[in-house]
Structure formats: structure tokens, C-alpha cells
Amino acid sequence: MTTKDLARLLAEAADLMEVLGEGGFRVNAYRRAARALERYQGDLAELQRAGFSSLPGIGKGLAGTLEQIVTSGEFDYLEELRGQVPPGVNELFAVQGLGPKRIRALWEAGVDTLEELVRAAEEGRLAALPGFGKKSQQALLDAARFALANVRRVHLSTGLEAARILLADLRAAGVTAELAGSLRRRLETVGNVDLLTAAEPELVREALGEHAREVRGRVVVGSLEGLPLRVFCVDPGRWGSELVRATGSAAFVAALGDLPVAAAEDDVFARLRLTPPPPCWREPEHVGLEPPARLLRREDLRGLIHLHTAYSDGAASLREMAAAAIAAGYEYMVVSDHSQTASYAGGLTAADLERQWAEVEALNAELAPFRILKGIESDILADGSLDYPDELLDRFDVVLGSIHSHFNLSPDEQTARIVRALENPYLTILAHPSGRLLLRRKGVSADWPAVLDRAAELGKVIEINANPWRLDLDWRLALAYRERLYFSIGPDAHAPAGYEDVQYGVWMARKAGIAPQRVINTWSAEQVAGRRSM
């Protein structure tokens, strides 16, 4: 458990309290504590030793609750709250635009599942509810359909953590197993955990304890935190064949034809007279494509691009972020705090920028040869303009442009908006291009071929945002443009721990088959800073 896990538990409890009609001091206290834990940069053991009440925003009563959660691993009050809210109502939190108060209103009106929300919107019943209306009804219908299609999937990061726990349980019992399915392929969202082992099913079932529900032939099925689990128990002589089949995808395996029986995966492909494709290169979109001769590796990245500091909404100072980058082996970083329009995220005014730039110059002198490049994450405004005058934009080494608002513009309007931003001579990188949040928000609708064609013509860089909740640009689009565009991998880190998300961006770049030299993080600081003038 981490402080971020505790923050999520408190935030969920506050949401459920509001759904159940409880408001006031207790809800606010839980939300304040969740924010304080989210921003805390030390480890949980350190905070526990100091006492949770040492953290601003956490009172003595709540500190005792947190101590009990960490010590026992259980949050009894949250379980009590969950028990009072039907599962279908809880799923309504997945719908963009719905908060606790609106969910309570829907529940009171008999809308207690995603399916019922879709029906109510289709039949026009939402418009009659207080606080909704016809305009929000259509938006909620679109959001509810999106949520319904994804509600039983989880982010790749969540699936990998579930798999880590299950594999540890198996190892403790002396059982060797390997990832399969969409987790092994590193798909951005997953619907289950698939594992492969040569152990006997009963031994597997015993090792997994409460996570194993039953044995069906040679397959142990179960779940962890609601995520379905399948463990395929195979004969060692068929290990390679069964690993190919269990890894998938179904379309990729079908395209291979009849699989030869082999104990090693490479032997399967050798007998098919094929170069063994990496697991990430086995989606339907890869059928018929040759895997790249050389895939990107984390070790290829020389610089960190896209990170936030305490100057805007980051949790660590510029010095702390730089020290962490050096410790992680990077040669440079591009600081990219929010621009002035993003007041909700502490966006930087011109005066703030002058202060930050002075600190950058001082740190560069002190930390050389490590270098901090002066960047910004500039909001792309509704008309496609960037969020500072040209004379200020001209002083940055790198300008990232991002969409954070006006998601409801038409596809034509969004396309024109993004193209205008790309045509700004000061823009270096189009960051998290669609603004999507996986399983939560689709992001803007635009003519992406038109956008990316124009980016290629102008030599603009497209970000693959490595935050596991974003992974944007979608790797499928990146695959289609892998030989025409240059890309950056941005952790969008708001604390040093966020640097670890770079690996998710690397996985998406591998799925897209992007050559290392087309990822600008593999370039020197001088090359990245000089990109805008090319």
C-alpha cells in the first residue's frame, strides 16, 4: 500500500458518503486528507512513523483511521459504505460528467445501473430531472455508452499489479507461471488476467486460495478485486504452442494457421518459418506487418520530456525533480508546467516564468552536464491559439501544446483548432493529442488523419503520453504514422515517482513499431532544443 492508495480510499469514501446523502465536515475532512496524501512525496512507512496527523489536512481522528487501515489492511467504514450502495450505482462513477450529487439524484429517480442510465437518456427521461436538462442528457448518453463498453476493463497498470500479486502467491507455493493474454501484449486496457503454468490445477488452486473459484478441466478460474482470472495448466511439451495461443490476440493466432506442437515459443515460429514477433506485436492491427528489426527500449531514452513541478500543480520542487532525473540516469529534462489559463492547476504567469527561468539557469550551472530545458505545457485555446504572446513563446526551448478544455466542439471545429495550433511556429510537441482518459473520457473527436498529415508536413512532434490513464496518442494511430512522424514519450510526471510511467510509453511505442531514432527522447538536449527551428 502507498500514500496514493490511501488517498484513493479516502476519496472513494467521500464520494460514497455524498451519494448516501451525508455532507458537511466529515466529507470535507476526507477530501482534504486525500489531497494531502496525494501530494505527499515520502513513503508510507516514513509518514506512519511521523504520525499521520503530522501531515497538514489530517486531523487526529482521521490519523487514527489511517493508522488502522495501514496496520490491518482493512478499511471497515469504506466497506460499510460500499455495502449500502448497489454495485450498479457505483458504476455510475465511470460516467464523465457525473459526480456524487448527480448520482444520488439518479438513484433516487430509479436510475441505478449504467444500462438504465442509457435507457433513461434514450427515452428522454433524464431531461426532466432537476439539474440535468436536454443538453446534458445527450452528453450523458454518449458518456454512459462509452462507460458501459469499458466498465469491466481496467487500466494496464491495474492489471499488471493484479498479476504481480497472483504470481507472487504462486511463487510462494513453488509454482512457476508466466503472463499471457492482453497483459503480456501490453494492451492499454485489459479485461482479465491470463497466466500459463505447467503445474497441476489443484496445486494452482490451493496456491491462489481465495482468488481461485473453481477448476474447469485444466483451467483454474477466479478473480482478484473483481478482475477475472484464468490460469491455463499445460503439458510442458506443449508449452510453446499454448503460450502462443494464450497470448493471442485471437486474430493474430488465427492468421498463423495450425500451430505446431512445441515446448518453446520460438520453436513454434521457427516451424512456421516466421521471425518470432514480440508479444506486443500480436494485435489484429499487426497481422501482415513485419515487426521492426529494433524496438525501442527504456535504456534508449536520454531525456525526460513533460513534467510538472511545484511551480504549477506538481508536488516536488524543480531541484527535486532534477535530482530524481539524474538519479534515474537521464541527461536532461524538459520542465513543462501549466500555462496561465490553467488557473485550476496553478498555471504560470509571466512573472512566475521569470522566477522559474532564473532557477533553471542556476541549477544548470550547478548540475552540469545535466541540463534542464525551459518548456511549458501551453493550453490550446478554443480557437487554436497558444496561451502566451509570441514574444514569450519565443523564449522557451520547448513548447508543448495540450487540450484541457472545450471537449464538446464539433469534429470539424476540433480539427481546425488542432491544425491551427500545429501551424504555430513556436509549437514543438502536440501533447496528449486527444485529451482522452482511458475508461473515463473519449477525448476530442477530430479528423485525425488530417491532423497527423499536417503535423508530418510541418515536422511537428506528437507525444505518446505515458500516464497509464492516458496513453495518448493511441498506439494504433501512431502505428499508421510510424515512418512519417517524430514522437516524444512524456511521463506527464507531477512527482519523481511519475518518472516510472515512462515504461508505459515505451510499451506503446513498441506496439506502434516506432524506430528509436524517431523518438526525440533518444536525442541530445541540444537536438531537442533545436527542433523548433528546423
| Each residue's pLDDT tens digit, 468-506 | 999 999 999 999 999 999 999 999 999 999 999 999 999
Strand partners, 377: 338, 400
Tell me the CA end-to-end span of the chain in Å, nearest whole number. Answer: 47
Question: pLDDT value at position 484?
Answer: 97
Q: Do domains 1-85 and 155-286 have the same CATH topology?
A: no
| Strand order across the beta sheet in which 461-465 lies | 303-307, 332-335, 371-379, 398-402, 429-430, 461-465, 486-490
Sign of CA dihedral 237, 243, 249, 255: negative
pLDDT in tens, 72-96: 888 888 888 888 888 888 889 888 8
- pLDDT band (50, 70, 90) for residue 532: low
Question: pLDDT value at position 144?
Answer: 87
- The C-alpha cell at 467 is 500516464
- Mean pLDDT value of segment 524-533: 87
β-bridge pairing 193-197 and 371-379: unpaired
* E strands in 363-405: 371-379, 398-402
- Mean pLDDT value of segment 279-301: 95
* E strands in 135-198: 154-155, 177-180, 189-190, 193-197
Question: In residues, how long is the chain?
Answer: 534
Q: Kindly report the average pLDDT of the chain as a whole number.
A: 93
Residue of 278 and 147 predicted with greater confidence: 278
- The C-alpha cell at 470 is 492516458
* Distance, CA of 291 to CA of 294 (rounded, Å): 8
Contact indicator for 241, 235 with CB cutoff of 8 Å:
no
- Mean pLDDT value of segment 386-406: 96
Domain boundaries, the chain: 1-85, 98-151, 155-286, 298-533
Q: Collapse the DSSP code of 93 into the 3-class scheme (helix H, G, I; strand E, B; otherwise coil) and give the result.
A: helix
pLDDT in tens, 211-238: 999 999 999 999 997 899 999 999 999 9
* Distance, CA of 139 to CA of 141 (rounded, Å): 5
Q: What phi-psi label fits residue 286: left (phi over 0), alpha (psi between -120 and 50 degrees) or beta? A: alpha
155-286, CATH topology level: Beta Polymerase; domain 2 (3.30.460)
pLDDT in tens, 176-217: 999 999 999 999 999 999 999 999 999 999 999 999 999 999
298-533, CATH topology level: TIM Barrel (3.20.20)
Question: pLDDT value at position 349?
Answer: 95
- pLDDT band (50, 70, 90) for residue 534: low
**346 sits in which H/E element:** none
Contact indicator for 297, 515 with CB cutoff of 8 Å:
no
* Distance, CA of 329 to CA of 104 (rounded, Å): 49
Tell me the CATH architecture of domain 1-85.
Orthogonal Bundle (1.10)
- pLDDT band (50, 70, 90) for residue 375: very high
- Mean pLDDT value of segment 124-145: 86
- Mean pLDDT value of segment 325-350: 94
pLDDT in tens, 101-114: 999 999 999 999 88
Strand partners, 233: 197
- The C-alpha cell at 225 is 478485486
